[in-house]
Amino acid sequence: MSKISRKIGGLLYYSFAKHLPPSYSGLRIGQRALRALCGKLMLKSCGKGVNIEQGAVFSARTSLGDYSGIGVNARINGSCTIGSCVMMGSDVVVITRNHAFSRTDIPMMHQGFEEERPVVIEDDVWIGDRVIILPGVRVGQGSILAAGAVVSRDVEPYTIVGGVPARVIGRRREEEKA
């Protein structure tokens, strides 16, 4: 997309569409279609049938696959690739870089940031409410991230993780359950 269309999409989204009711509300005024249009204008790539919910904040370097969603009040910072058919709950946070803190002779607030480490969320993933995904994490296909989890390491495909920090609490495939 051109810089102009990204700016138009951002202006339309952040000034108006972001504040419309969530898609599941009883009020149907085209909010889902309008936010999807803004996504197509703003995002690095945006598939068909997407659902960007009320209050979501996201980087233009986000890629959103077919039939995927960005949840109510979600916050996606930096470069994030979201595959197809991804469900995302409310208040999800995706972080792609942290503050630098290696030196003790300089206050942390003056050390800047570490290098960005993109996050990848593969196809058919369910991300529960208030999940936090930390920099550089890859979430494997078919995984489930339980509500409130803090995901600091890669998640294998078809794995269910939960807790702080997130750890394996189940598997979705029979051969892996034994």
Catalytically active residues, by annotation: 99
Helix (H, G, I), strand (E, B) or coil at 112: coil
Cα→Cα distances 169→34, 60, 150, 154, 173, Å: 38, 33, 13, 14, 13
Residue 175: its H or E element = helix 174-177
User: Which residue reads 């949840």 in tokens?
Assistant: 71
Task: Locate 100 and state its tokens.
Answer: 């630098």
Question: 């051109």: which residue's tokens?
Answer: 2
DSSP element (H, E) containing 110 = none
Rg, Å, the chain Cα set: 17
* Helices 31-42 & 3-15 angle (0-180, nearest 10): 150
The neighbouring-strand residues paired with 145 are 127, 161
